[in-house]
Amino acid sequence: MLCTVSVLALSSCSKEQESTNTPAPSEAISPAVLTQIKEMGLTTDEIKKVDGGYLVEGDILVTEANLASKPEYQMLRVGDEEQYRTTNRVSVGSGRTVSIRVSTSLPSAYVTATDELIRRYNAQGLLIRFTRVTSGGEIVLTAAPSGSSYLASAGFPSNGNPFNSVRVNSGAIGTANATTYIATILAHEVGHCIGFRHTDYMSRQYSCGGAAVNEGASTVGAVLIPGTPSGPDPNSWMLACIGSGGNRPFNANDVTALRFVY
C-alpha cells in the first residue's frame, strides 16, 4: 500500500508534512485565503494553519508572503499523471550550486541520506547543483516539532532562491534505509524547495489512496513535455505518497522534467 511522502498521518502509512503544532480547522481559515490558494492550483482539502503559513497537500507550506505576491503557477506535464512546477523556480543563470545543511538536531543517518539525494540530483548534469555544508546553508534540514504527526514538509522558491527549510520528523521516519527510503523523502522535499509539485496532482488517490482530489490546472495551464508517456507514472520521486521503506530514485520521466526546468 502506498502512503504519502508529503503529509501522511502516522498510522499504517506515513505522510510528509512539515512544521506545525496542533492544526486549526479549515473553518478558521478565511474564504479569501482559501480562494487564493485554490487559484494557485493547490487543493485546500485538509488545509491546516501552521506556524509560518498554511500547510496544504500534506507537505507544502504556503506562506503569507506567497499569498501577498500572488505567484502564478505553471505545470510541466508528464503524461496523464503529471509533473509540474511553479514559475517560482530557482534562478540558476549559467549554473548555480545550492548549499544544504543538516542540523545537528537530526541523526547522522540524515547526513548520509542528504549526501545520497545530492548525488542523485548532481548526476543529472543540471544547471542547478547541490553541495552539503556544515554551517549556513541555503536549505536547512531541521527536526520537526515534538509530537508532529507528519514526516516532512517544505515550501516553494521565492525571489529566485530555493525555499530555505525542510522540517523532518526523524522519530517517525527512523534511521534505517538512509540511502534509499530517507534519501527519497528528502529528495522529494528538496524538489518542492526548487519548485516542483506532486506528479499525481490530478488525482492524488493514485499514490495515496482514498477519494480523488484534483488540484486543478491553476490559472496558467500546463506545458506538455514532448516524448513522455500518456499513462500514469508509478515511480516518480514527486508522487504525493510513498510506502514505508520505499525507494524512488529519478525515473526517466523525472529526468526529463528536471532537465526541462533546470
CA Rg, the chain, in Å? 17
**By C-alpha distance, which of 258, 97, 253, 93 is closest to 187?**
258
Alpha-helical regions (H) of 109-238? 109-122, 170-173, 183-193, 205-208
Tell me if residue 30 falls in helix, strand or coil.
Answer: coil
Give me the domain span that covers residue 180. Answer: 26-261
Number of domains in the chain: 1
> What band does 46 get if pLDDT is binned at 50, 70 and 90?
confident
Instruction: Examine residue 1 and state whether it is found in any structural domain, yes or no.
Output: no
Per-residue pLDDT of 124-139, as tens digits, reads: 999 999 999 999 999 9
Q: What is the pLDDT of residue 232?
A: 54
User: Who wins on pLDDT, 156 or 231?
Assistant: 156
Q: Write out the three cell numbers for 168.
A: 523532518
Tell me, what CATH number does 102's domain have? 3.40.390.10
Instruction: Examine residue 238 and state whether it is found in any structural domain, yes or no.
Output: yes
The CA distances from residue 68 to 22, 62, 64, in Å, are 25, 11, 6
Burial (CB < 10 A; 0-12, 13-18, 19+), residue 181, is buried
> What band does 197 get if pLDDT is binned at 50, 70 and 90?
confident
Instruction: Examine residue 189 and state whether it is found in any structural domain, yes or no.
Output: yes
User: Who wins on pLDDT, 73 or 162?
Assistant: 162
Instruction: Examine residue 4 and state whether it is found in any structural domain, yes or no.
Output: no
Instruction: Examine residue 7 and state whether it is found in any structural domain, yes or no.
Output: no
Report the predicted TM-score, pTM, of the whole model to 2 decimal places.
0.77
Instruction: Examine residue 10 and state whether it is found in any structural domain, yes or no.
Output: no
